[in-house]
Structure 1
Amino acid sequence: MNPAPEEGRTLVVDGGLATRLEDLGCDLGDELWSARLLRDAPDTIRRAHRDFFDAGADVAITASYQASIAGFTARGPTRREARALITRSVDLAAQARDAAGGGLVAASVGPYGAARADGSEYTGDYGLDPDPDIAVDTLADWHRERWHLLADSGADLLACETLPSYTEARALARLLAETPGVRAWFSFSCADAAHISDGTPLARCAELLADREQVVAVGANCTAPDRIDGLIARVRGAPAVVYPDSGETWDAASGTWAGTRDPEAFGAAARRWRQAGARLIGGCCRTTPDHIRRIRDHLD
């Protein structure tokens, strides 16, 4: 199956996997986040994927976002077992896809900051060598083993997501070139309606990736929905992918989310995003199967 959206067609991406897992009773208070459940509760991950497919999603993003070999081996599994857990993320999504009768599996390639679990995935401040070429080498080396595992896993494409830095995008673009035949989207965490988290204009990131046959889309995720219209306008040379947060904000002082979740308004906004040029649309943090169902209803 060709993972690129057909001309004029919009694919619905799933919603917040971690949010769904928490709603199903899982405790994600661990540095591995949802990736821990690849070992401890794989059936629950499979169910969460199925819930999003049943709500109308065309694409499931795997639970490999925060997975890393170092992260798993630090908790007991051998290196071989850690590699198997990473590829299990694709197997679980594929099983849910097959049970639902069709769809695509996008293997999540989370940023280096996600494995650090220190918040740097939202800033891109990794403390690497100030020479950007050396930093690209460092990040490519760190990502390479997991990248090739996921590239060979049978996933339909790779979802390079929540990328906070232009340097990391360069590193992953290098790895994409190492794996001919693999396709991917690149989605950035964004500071505002024009810039990714490290301050680079999204337009510059899109220019880096534009017109590469292996890149199916460029865009934004894990950002506020009111930024999405402006971000779509910055993407040129590739279809846009957008899957923002619910619109709520995290209050660190109280440890709670502020604001309200409005799946209906989210679905209505998705129709506007499609009109602006987005060809893959879904949800990120705090979005549920109900959000995906409303997107499906509005796009249909």
Structure 2
Amino acid sequence: MSTTPLPPLILLDGGLGTTLADRYNCIFDHSTPLWSSHLLLSGEGSETLRDVQGAFAEKGADVVLSATYQASFEGCRASGVGDEREAGVCMRRGMEIARVAAEKREGGGKVALSLGAYGATMVPGQEYSGAYDAEHSSVEQLREWHFRRLEAFMPGGEDEVEKKERRACWDSVDYVAFETLPRVDEVLAVRQVMEKVSRIVGGEKVVEFWIACVFPGEGNDLPDGSSIKQVVGAMLGKGKGARPMGVGINCTRVGKVEGLVVEFEREIGELIEREGGEWPSLVVYPDGTRGEVYDTTTKEWVKRGGAEESLIPWDEETFGIVSRCQERRLWKSIFVGGCCKTTPDDIGKLRKRIDEL
């Protein structure tokens, strides 16, 4: 019997945008390029976000992700907020709301600053394809874009009011979550961004971050065609930027996740054998879909022809995957939660399984 302790399970929240659409009748289309972040532009929308994110926390989520996944200066301009200072205020409001929601967790919770791929801010969205425009098709271009957005949440500002607000925002960040990345050059870009961030604010506060990629196709390659070996090398290889505390998978069908995790484990083990270092945390939050796929053009969920639906409840299937990961005792810790179509009730059921374990 192994004496290595089981890595702890840390529960994330679920699908914010789909819960807003399915349970609160929010409509997201081309008139709302910020998607769920559009609610940050109004007081009424902010209250709705507090309700939904608070529901996930009340169901037991240890970590609440901010409603900033698709937030960007470009999206704010397209939504009528042309002033960049005002846009920054709106984006930072997402962290404030998430922090209030996290406090509804018994004993309090943590907050992750959610930052989606550049493709998530395109119209139509391209985070599932990785087909970016010519101005965002290199490590350098993506690094500059990601840093400019992240900078809106960091200390700085033109006057004392803005400096105080931005300082309070950054102090409330427990993790930075780079999510749904479809390209290895974007993985490298965000590592370089976080290396730059650590130079700027490292003496004041070191913020841990994770990188989660999306695997929407039938195989186990990224949308840009990169293999898991290439993905792991970009995520954790030496000399490529700041090292994330966690790596993994999000916004991917739950039926694919276990095979992906096993392949991640093999490649990370080989990388550590070559380069040294420690195992990171695993971050895995699959979709709660049952045969539906998201049409980025119509912004609707549609049934895919011939798609098989699992008869196993989402919480049971997801829990089985991470509990088997635990038994292998490789990862430092395991962050598990849900992405699209997972509800507060799903997270509550997963919480119960974790607690019973």
Shorter-chain TM-score above 0.5: yes
Quick one: structure 1 residues 104 and 203, their matched pair in 2 at CA, closer, same or farther if it must change by over 3 Å? farther
- What is the one-letter code of the residue matched to 2:151? H
**Do 2:248 and 2:284's aligned partners in 1 also have CA atoms closer than 8 Å?**
yes
**Do 1:225 and 1:245's aligned partners in 2 also have CA atoms closer than 8 Å?**
yes
Select the residue among 321, 327, 336 that pairs with 1:281: 336
In the alignment, which residue of structure 2 is the partner of 1:174?
Answer: 192
- What is the one-letter code of the residue matched to 1:299? I
What do residues 108-156 of structure 1 show as CA deviations (whole Å, max 9, x unaligned)? 11111111132311111114379x7xx1111111111211233552210
Measured in 1, the distance between the counterparts of 2:299 and 2:348 equals 31
* TM-score, normalisation: structure 1: 0.88
- What is the one-letter code of the residue matched to 2:293? W
**Do 2:19 and 2:343's aligned partners in 1 also have CA atoms closer than 8 Å?**
yes
Measured in 2, the distance between the counterparts of 1:263 and 1:52 equals 24
**Do 1:193 and 1:228's aligned partners in 2 also have CA atoms closer than 8 Å?**
no
- What is the one-letter code of the residue matched to 2:244? V
What do residues 17-43 of structure 1 show as CA deviations (whole Å, max 9, x unaligned)? 012212123222222111110012101
Q: How does 1:1-300 map to 2 (within 5 A)?
A: 8-22=7-21, 23-29=23-29, 30-40=32-42, 41-77=45-81, 78-100=83-105, 101-128=107-134, 135-152=138-155, 153=170, 154-180=172-198, 181-190=206-215, 191-192=217-218, 194-210=220-236, 214-235=243-264, 236=268, 237-248=279-290, 249-250=292-293, 256-258=301-303, 265-274=313-322, 275-277=324-326, 279-300=334-355
Superposition RMSD in Å:
2.6
Quick one: structure 1 residues 251 and 46, their matched pair in 2 at CA, closer, same or farther if it must change by over 3 Å? closer
Quick one: structure 1 residues 57 and 222, their matched pair in 2 at CA, closer, same or farther if it must change by over 3 Å? same
What do residues 48-91 of structure 1 show as CA deviations (whole Å, max 9, x unaligned)? 11000111111111111111012112333211110111111111
**Do 2:236 and 2:243's aligned partners in 1 also have CA atoms closer than 8 Å?**
no
Quick one: structure 1 residues 18 and 276, their matched pair in 2 at CA, closer, same or farther if it must change by over 3 Å? same
Greater C-alpha radius of gyration: 2
SS in 2 for 1:170: helix
Quick one: structure 1 residues 254 and 199, their matched pair in 2 at CA, closer, same or farther if it must change by over 3 Å? closer
Measured in 1, the distance between the counterparts of 2:311 and 2:149 equals 34
Measured in 1, the distance between the counterparts of 2:288 and 2:113 equals 22
Q: Percent identity?
A: 30
Quick one: structure 1 residues 234 and 148, their matched pair in 2 at CA, closer, same or farther if it must change by over 3 Å? farther
Measured in 1, the distance between the counterparts of 2:218 and 2:232 equals 16
**Do 1:122 and 1:197's aligned partners in 2 also have CA atoms closer than 8 Å?**
yes
- What is the one-letter code of the residue matched to 2:245? V
Q: Between Structure 1 and Structure 2, how many residues are aligned?
A: 292
SS in 1 for 2:245: strand
Measured in 2, the distance between the counterparts of 1:38 and 1:90 equals 10
Gaps of 5+ in 2: 156-169, 199-205, 269-278
Quick one: structure 1 residues 295 and 263, their matched pair in 2 at CA, closer, same or farther if it must change by over 3 Å? farther
Quick one: structure 1 residues 155 and 87, their matched pair in 2 at CA, closer, same or farther if it must change by over 3 Å? same
Quick one: structure 1 residues 50 and 129, their matched pair in 2 at CA, closer, same or farther if it must change by over 3 Å? closer
**Do 1:136 and 1:170's aligned partners in 2 also have CA atoms closer than 8 Å?**
yes
**Do 1:246 and 1:261's aligned partners in 2 also have CA atoms closer than 8 Å?**
no
SS in 1 for 2:103: helix
Quick one: structure 1 residues 255 and 35, their matched pair in 2 at CA, closer, same or farther if it must change by over 3 Å? closer
- What is the one-letter code of the residue matched to 2:184? Y
